[in-house]
Amino acid sequence: MNHMEINHSSEPIRLFKSDFLEFFTHIHPAVVVAIWLPVSGYFLALSIVTAPADTAALHIPLGFLAGLFVWTLTEYLVHRFVFHYEPRSEPMKRFFFLFHGVHHAQPQCKTRLVMPPAVSIPGAIVIYLLFSLILGNLLGAPHWIAPVFSGFVLGYLVYDMIHYATHHLPMHGRVMKYLKRYHMLHHFKTPEERYGVSSPLWDFVFGTAPKE
C-alpha cells in the first residue's frame, strides 16, 4: 500500500508478524510527554546551574529560543526529505512505509501519531552530540549546549502534541484551527506540499506552500 491509498479501517495496519516488534509501533501521546518534558526541563535547569554568571541572563533565553527555531527547520527537513523520500527498491519501500507511509495510509490511527521512543531517543542522542560538536568543540561555547537542546526538545514535544491534536482533538483559536486545516490538506489534497506541522514557516521559505 502506498501513502496515497487511505485505509479507513479502525483496525491498525499490522507492520510486523512478531507481536513483540508490533508492540513498539504503537505509542500513546502521554508517553511522549512523560519522557521529553522532563528532559527539556532537566537541560534548562542544567543551563541555569552551569551558566557563567555574566552571560546567563542573555544566552539561556536566546539559546532556548534558538533550539525551538532549529527544531522547526528540522521538522520540515525530516518530514520532506526523510519521511517523504520515494525509494525504488522494495525493501526500502517497506522500510520507509514503517517510518511514515503507514501514517499516510491510515492517518487516523491514534497510536501512530507520535514518534515511538525507539526512534526518538536515538535521534535525540544524535542531535545532542551534534550540538556538542558544533557549539562545544567548533564554536567554543559549551554553555550554549544545554539551553539550545532544551528548546529543541520542547519544540519536538510541541510538534508531536500538535500533530496528535490535528488528527484527534477539537482545535480552538485561529492559529490552531489553521494548523489543523493545513495538516489535513497535506494528507488529503497536497501530500507533496505543506510539510510543516507545528509551523508553516519553512514551506513558505522553500516554496512548498501552495500558491493559492
- Render each residue's pLDDT in the chain as its tens digit; 212 residues: 344 456 555 566 666 677 777 766 778 889 999 999 999 999 999 999 988 877 777 899 999 999 999 999 999 999 999 888 887 887 777 766 666 667 666 667 666 678 888 889 999 999 999 999 999 999 999 999 999 999 999 999 999 999 999 988 888 999 999 999 999 999 888 889 999 999 999 999 999 998 76
Residue 14 CB coordination number (10 Å): 10
How is residue 74 written as a grid cell? 528540522
**pLDDT for res 187:** 86
Enumerate the domain spans of the chain: 19-206
Cα separation of the two ends of the chain: 30
How is residue 32 written as a grid cell? 511522549
Rounded to whole angstroms, the Cα distance separating 100 from 31 reads 19
Rounded to whole angstroms, the Cα distance separating 96 from 54 reads 48
Tell me which residue has cell 514551506: 203
